């Protein structure tokens, strides 16, 4: 099953790349195997919708990759990925929760001493040192 998943993932990625290259007029730079699959895809487009033709072409590539990767027998059926649906290997983007300000007064925030209190303590300490050191 691991070989089947890898073959399916590779077939989907390669087909998407080849299709994009064909749209950008770079199909001539693709390997002959890719050009053959793209020709089959174009033939399938004449017979069915684009989504069905895409799945059929990916299935053909998947079969080829399964055999190439050492899969024995007929390749197992992998769940078809409906167009526009999030697959299992895609992580949805989530915004991180807003960070709390430390001065917001929550339980995590430390109480802040007023500047005047700190200054007064420093004056007392300084005066105490001066008084005791004489």
* pLDDT at site 100: 67
More confident residue, 101 or 35: 35
CA 124 to chain centre: 60
Q: What percent of the chain has pLDDT over 70?
A: 74
* pLDDT at site 80: 54
To which residue do tokens 């040192």 refer? 129
pLDDT band at 111 (very low <50, low <70, confident <90, very high): low
Task: Report the mean per-residue pLDDT for the chain.
Answer: 76
- Which tokens hold the place of 81? 């990925």
- Tell me the CA distances in angstroms from 43 to 25, 47, 53, 57, 101, one per residue in order: 18, 7, 9, 10, 60
């Amino acid at each position: 099953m691991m070989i089947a998943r890898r073959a399916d993932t590779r077939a989907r990625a390669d087909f998407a790349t080849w299709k994009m290259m064909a749209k950008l007029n770079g199909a001539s730079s693709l390997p002959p195997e890719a050009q053959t699959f793209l020709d089959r895809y174009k033939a399938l487009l004449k017979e069915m919708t684009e989504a069905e033709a895409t799945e059929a072409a990916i299935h053909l590539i998947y079969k080829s990759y399964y055999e190439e990767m050492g899969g024995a027998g007929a390749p197992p059926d992998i769940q078809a990925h409906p167009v526009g649906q999030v697959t299992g290997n895609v992580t949805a983007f989530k915004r991180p929760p807003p960070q709390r300000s430390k001065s917001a007064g929550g339980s995590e925030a430390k109480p802040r001493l007023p500047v005047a209190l700190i200054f007064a303590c420093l004056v007392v300490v300084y005066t105490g040192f001066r008084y005791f050191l004489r």
